[in-house]
Structure 1
Amino acid sequence: MLLAFGLCAFQAHANDSMARIGTHGLELVKSDRVRMATERLDISTQRIQVRYQFINESTVDVPAVVAFPLPRYGWNPGAAMIDGNEYPLRPFEVKVDGQSVPSRMSRRALLEGRDVTVALRRAGLKDAEVFDTFGCRGSECEFSPRVAAALKRMKALSIDGYPTWEVEEAAYWDIRFPAGRSLKVEHDYAPKVGMVYSVPYWDGQWNEQMLPSPARRKDGERGDPACLADSARAEVEQRVRREVAAGAKGVQVVLRDVEYVLGTGRNWKGPIGDFTLRVQKEAVDDIVALCLPGKLLQLDAKTLEFHASDFTPPDRLVLHFYRVEPSR
């Protein structure tokens, strides 16, 4: 029953979900037999580790396909720090009860939300050009006149002739949930990390607009996805002013962000029985902002923890890690 196929949108890092396989890709589905008893999620800018315990509460084994959506990526010339994110996420390791399990990848090309994989192939691109290189080498993109004309007709090239589509991936693997038993599933991988920096103070000059503030997201969504306005922005501003008072010639604020989709955890039976999130800072002075229905507890100088029982997860977590760096 679970081995048919369809397709839905995948974005960012995400909780496991049951899926089915069909003619167009992966489709996430709900389970009324398997429950996510526990989830332990460790997030830093260097590594994401996820540990689940699933329990099949039925009296029969449940064979399934389990999918883990991965971050979208697109072509970028690699001219700045933030450009380093534009590549497929590898490696991605899956363990079931401590044993490594091979995973496969479902990939498709998206243009303004539309699946254009077949259209790009018909335009003359090979799969490596659609999914890996985007037809470019280094910072240069050269297409034959015929291919370029086809890509322009479908608006897959910018005015400057650069690829505009994105690639969406999901790792998936086969699994069997034994009747009446628990099963441990683990993932371990390096996340994609957004990076931007601003300079609110330099050589006696203030630029208040360069202090962090809730910003418009790439997908056009407005709001404050990391709950920056709650307290983190004030903490960053206080840190900047303290450095200025201490004689800093300049102060820059570096933001690293990680996004993780939790909402797919709602596809299992009931809420998550026991949920633990641990956030690991790179430096003691890093300032962390994220939205949660409760407080983060400080375990040590670099580790924060959130814990909840019978947890119904929000759609996603957006974590902002701020670092204030003075110049003397």
Structure 2
Amino acid sequence: MVRIALTFGLALAAVPALANDSTAELGAGGLILSRNDAVSMDSEDLFISPDKVTVDYVFRNTSDKDVNTIVAFPLPEIEASPYEMPSIPEEGSENFLGFEVTVDGVAVKPELEQKAFAVGVDVSEELKAQSVPLYPYGKTALAALAKLPQQVADDWLARGIIVLDQYDDGSGWKSVRSPYWQLRSTFWWRAAFPAGKPVHVSHRYKPSVGATAGLTFFNDGKFQGEYDNYKRRYCLDDALEAAVRKAQKANTGSTQLYESRIAYILTTGGNWATGSIGRFKLTVDKLDARSLVSFCGTGVKKTGPTTFEMTAEDFVPERDIDILLLNRPENESGN
């Protein structure tokens, strides 16, 4: 894998980020099924932006018999905690990424399977028995936990299903029962792949975009903090480092860069017949021409003011896609 960072557009000052000014991104991806030796992925056209992710596939059954199987789309796991908030596009919804899918142009209504785990133990039925929703964020879950019998609450505290969130909001000390379980969600549907015929599948969703006020890898004119981790994950290169240094030097004290992060799980594309994708195309749109963008890729080309493309034949997805955007406040000019 060639390391590439793309640094288009001017960015200004960088300041250290504060932990409480951050939200964590949740990594979603594409469709999966159990290893299948008959159905190949002829092509995948993947588009990623902070607003949407769209994926267009062409699958082909290479055998002489029809194949009927289950295709799944796993939503990213949510680890509930009062201490760290993940980025959730559609708060309060079971379909919290707004997932939609079509097969040969016809909309499919997939089934949704959800389970809750605490310390690796399935606690779904216990939550349901107490009328506690499996989705852990929002007022509904908190209200249901507040109504738990004390004996049940004590048991759940001891088992790591919930925690007590203790704080003073200015009106006195509060102690609130808060979710601490993990939610695993998967959309799935039964799919038919006729012998020798292509099947066109498209899906789209809103990505979970992590964000940090300021930069976690640059402070006091030096690359530090998360720098080594970011260099590996986002393939930061000399060009991006120079742009960040220039931005810091030009800072007047009124402007700061802030991070946005998008994660896409690509390695599941190896579960189809050949273990590779016949023709793979990735388009990344940073949306704002003033932003900096960095991600790992081979042969990436700039195709527009905000778009970048990578194409490959017989592509083996050996690593997932992580995209780092360094944005400027909306009221800052591009000069």
- Which TM-score band (shorter chain)? 0.7 to 0.9
Deviation at 1:103, TM superposition (A): 0.6
Query: Any residues of structure 2 matched to 1:81-100 within 5 Å, and which?
Result: 88=94, 89-100=96-107
- Provide the C-alpha distance between the structure 2 equivalents of 1:173 and 1:230, rounded to a whole number of angstroms: 46
Cα deviation code 1:152-208 (max 9, x no counterpart): 1211223534222221211111110010010000001211111111279xxxxx734
Residue 136 (str. 1) matches residue 123 (str. 2): no
Deviation at 1:214, TM superposition (A): 3.5
- Provide the C-alpha distance between the structure 2 equivalents of 1:264 and 1:199, rounded to a whole number of angstroms: 31
Q: Which residue of 2 aligns with 1:190?
A: 206
Matched to 1:15, the amino acid is G
Matched to 1:17, the amino acid is I
Secondary structure of the equivalent of 2:188?
strand
Matched to 1:47, the amino acid is K
Secondary structure of the equivalent of 2:114?
strand
Residue 309 (str. 1) matches residue 313 (str. 2): yes
Matched to 2:247, the amino acid is R
Distance change >3 Å, CA 281–CA 298, structure 1 → 2: same
Q: Aligned match of 1:168 in 174, 184, 193?
A: 184
Q: Which residue of 1 aligns with 2:22?
A: none
Q: What's the RMSD between the two structures over aligned residues?
A: 3.3
Distance change >3 Å, CA 81–CA 32, structure 1 → 2: closer
Secondary structure of the equivalent of 1:17?
coil
Secondary structure of the equivalent of 1:168?
strand
Query: Any residues of structure 2 matched to 1:13-28 within 5 Å, and which?
Result: 13-18=28-33
Residue 266 (str. 1) matches residue 270 (str. 2): yes
Q: Aligned match of 2:123 in 117, 122, 128?
A: 117
Secondary structure of the equivalent of 2:55?
strand
Distance change >3 Å, CA 49–CA 106, structure 1 → 2: same
Deviation at 1:30, TM superposition (A): 0.2
Q: Aligned match of 2:52 in 47, 53, 58?
A: 47
Alpha carbons 2:56, 2:201 under 8 Å: kept: yes
Deviation at 1:263, TM superposition (A): 1.0
Alpha carbons 2:132, 2:141 under 8 Å: kept: no
Q: Aligned match of 1:35 in 40, 52, 64?
A: 40
Identical-pair percentage: 25
Residue 324 (str. 1) matches residue 328 (str. 2): yes
Distance change >3 Å, CA 254–CA 48, structure 1 → 2: same
- Provide the C-alpha distance between the structure 1 equivalents of 2:103 and 2:207, rounded to a whole number of angstroms: 21
Distance change >3 Å, CA 66–CA 83, structure 1 → 2: closer
Deviation at 1:146, TM superposition (A): 2.2
Secondary structure of the equivalent of 2:288?
coil
- Provide the C-alpha distance between the structure 2 equivalents of 1:45 and 1:173, rounded to a whole number of angstroms: 27
Deviation at 1:81, TM superposition (A): 9.3
Alpha carbons 1:199, 1:210 under 8 Å: kept: no
Matched to 2:153, the amino acid is A
| Greater relative CO, 1 or 2 (CA 8 Å, sep 6+) | 2
Q: Which residue of 1 aligns with 2:286?
A: 281
Matched to 1:16, the amino acid is L
- Provide the C-alpha distance between the structure 1 equivalents of 2:205 and 2:52, rounded to a whole number of angstroms: 6
- Provide the C-alpha distance between the structure 1 equivalents of 2:189 and 2:125, rounded to a whole number of angstroms: 28
Q: Aligned match of 1:241 in 241, 245, 249?
A: 249
Deviation at 1:77, TM superposition (A): 6.1
Matched to 2:240, the amino acid is A
Distance change >3 Å, CA 14–CA 183, structure 1 → 2: same
Distance change >3 Å, CA 84–CA 195, structure 1 → 2: farther
Distance change >3 Å, CA 181–CA 109, structure 1 → 2: same
Distance change >3 Å, CA 32–CA 83, structure 1 → 2: closer
Deviation at 1:83, TM superposition (A): 7.3
Structure 1 gaps of 5+ residues are 1-10, 19-28, 201-205, 217-221
Secondary structure of the equivalent of 1:225?
helix
Secondary structure of the equivalent of 1:136?
helix
Alpha carbons 2:73, 2:186 under 8 Å: kept: yes
Matched to 2:191, the amino acid is I
Secondary structure of the equivalent of 1:128?
coil
- Provide the C-alpha distance between the structure 1 equivalents of 2:305 and 2:286, rounded to a whole number of angstroms: 9
Question: Which stretch shows the higher mean deviation, 39-48 or 156-165?
Answer: 156-165
- Provide the C-alpha distance between the structure 2 equivalents of 1:141 and 1:12, rounded to a whole number of angstroms: 31
